[in-house]
Amino acid sequence: MNPSCNLFIVGPTGAGKTSIGRRLAGHYGLSFVDLDQEVEQHCGVDVNTVFEIEGEGGFRQRESTLLDALSQRAGVLLATGAGAVLAAANRQWLVERGFVVWLQASIEQQLERLERDQRRPLLAVPDRHARLAAMAVVREPIYRELADLAVPGQHGGVSAASERCIGLIDQHWQRAATPSPLHQP
């Protein structure tokens, strides 16, 4: 058990971090924050444009800066981007500041869920299956290492997946009290 007042969701592209995360935040009374959306809001442009102008390195730096700030809040559910776990500092902040939930998804599930999605710059390649497989080789061991709880991916809608997550989280998350606003950074 990792006692914390925060839930952090990690997992591959298309695992449902944002859609399930919103429902979990509502259920647990947490503020919902999507890291990719925060990057877009702070930059004033979408993630694709950040990648085009600054490359993946520039995006990752912006992502890390925001992850540091957002993970210091209390009472949040933070849905990370799939690659946010690549930086060692990000991993440390996630483990130290929250209960980490890994939403798993097979490559086949990812392909199905992302079939019409054109917004993800790392998937703008002819062979998405090969790209997702290559990312999984690098990222899955990291997700496994970070996770306080792994939630197996299953077919079905967001509602059923959210209920499954709630059942598992309730069994494993030792929720710490949220500090008063005077003590938040």
What is the model's pLDDT at position 67? 97
Residues in CB range of 36: below 8 A, 6 or more apart: 18, 47, 63, 81
Q: What are phi and psi of 149, to 5 degrees?
A: -150, 130
pTM, two decimal places: 0.91
Closest CA to 6 of 185, 157, 164: 185
Q: What are phi and psi of 84, to 5 degrees?
A: -60, -25
Pairing of strands 76-79, 31-34: parallel
The single residue listed with the structure tokens 């929720």 is 175
What is the model's pLDDT at position 116? 79
What is the model's pLDDT at position 180? 54
Based on the structure, what is the number of domains in the chain? 1
Going from the first residue of the chain to its last (185 residues), give the mean pLDDT of each consecutive group of 10, the final group possibly shorter.
86 94 97 95 90 91 96 96 96 97 94 81 85 96 97 84 95 83 50
Pairing of strands 31-34, 7-10: unpaired
Structural domain contains residue 63: yes
Q: What CATH number is associated with residue 111?
A: 3.40.50.300
Structural domain contains residue 184: no
